[in-house]
Amino acid sequence: MPQAGDLKKGNRIEVDGEPYSVVKLSRRTPSARGAATVITARLRNLRSKQQLERSWKSDERLPEPDFEIRDVQYLYAEGVEIHHFMDETSYEQFALDRELIEYELDYILPEGSVRALVFNSEVIGIEIDNTVELVVADCDPGVKGDTVNNVTKTARMETGLEIQVPLFVEAGESIVVDTREARYVKRVK
């Protein structure tokens, strides 16, 4: 069990029997001698996506949720709301509602591999890599002579995600995208 003082953004903990992910952290050290540092965390419920804020003393131990992580393949979307996946080991198929995986859908394509989070024998969401390769479906042309540093333009990826990219990126190119911040990393050679 980790201590509250060791928490980092993205860590998973269990609060009142529910799995949560740490969204934001702050530390407050009281000026009184001998007083313990207080860790305040904004948490997101991995099932319901609701957020709550909790505080602990830095030396307090926090339970980790008992997750099982399975490799799965994204198969297809049924309409807009239902998305089907297949366990790559058992070939068992399951469906998830769009609201559970809305953020992750911007980074995965049909037949793409991801990881399913299983808590108490129930799939509660999916996990994606920190970076993914996507093809630029559409973007505005760069303006010749615009040489100011860090000039960007909007590009739409093959999944529908829109991000800011440098002027030299063109439609049809593959780029690496950081999934944590929805930002351009580099072109794929």
What CATH number should be reported for the domain holding residue 46? 2.30.30.30
Q: How many domains would you assign to the chain?
A: 3
The residue written with tokens 């339970």 in the block is 63
Residues 10, 36 within the same domain: yes
Average pLDDT over residues 47-52: 84
In the listed set 84, 112, 127, which residue is the last one of a domain according to the structure?
127
Residues 108, 135 within the same domain: no
Longest CA–CA separation in the chain, Å: 62
In the listed set 108, 127, 146, which residue is the last one of a domain according to the structure?
127
Reported as a pLDDT band with limits 50, 70 and 90, residue 143 is low
Domain enclosing residue 18, as ranges: 4-57
Confidence (pLDDT) at 35: 73
Using only C-alpha atoms, what is the Rg of the chain? 20
In the listed set 127, 157, 179, which residue is the last one of a domain according to the structure?
127
Residues 122, 136 within the same domain: no
User: 159 lies in a domain?
Assistant: yes
Confidence (pLDDT) at 156: 93
User: Hey, which bits of the chain come out as E strands?
Assistant: 12-15, 18-28, 38-45, 51-57, 67-78, 82-87, 93-97, 113-119, 122-127, 131-139, 152-157, 162-166, 174-178, 183-187
**167 near 152, Cβ under 8 Å?**
yes
Helices (H), 9-166: 98-101
Residues 92, 42 within the same domain: no
pLDDT tens digits, one per residue of 75-114: 998 888 899 999 999 999 999 888 888 888 899 988 889 9
Question: Given a cut of 70, is residue 144 above it in pLDDT?
Answer: no
User: 62 lies in a domain?
Assistant: no
Confidence (pLDDT) at 19: 87
Residues 152, 170 within the same domain: yes
What CATH number should be reported for the domain holding residue 148? 2.40.50.140
Residues 80, 44 within the same domain: no
Report the share of the chain in percent with pLDDT over 90: 30
User: 76 lies in a domain?
Assistant: yes
Residues 138, 92 within the same domain: no
Average pLDDT over residues 123-133: 88
Residues 76, 111 within the same domain: yes
Residues 123, 152 within the same domain: no
Residues 123, 140 within the same domain: no
User: 43 lies in a domain?
Assistant: yes
**What value does the mean pLDDT of the chain take?**
86
Residues 98, 122 within the same domain: yes
Residues 92, 76 within the same domain: yes
pLDDT tens digits, one per residue of 3-15: 888 888 878 888 8
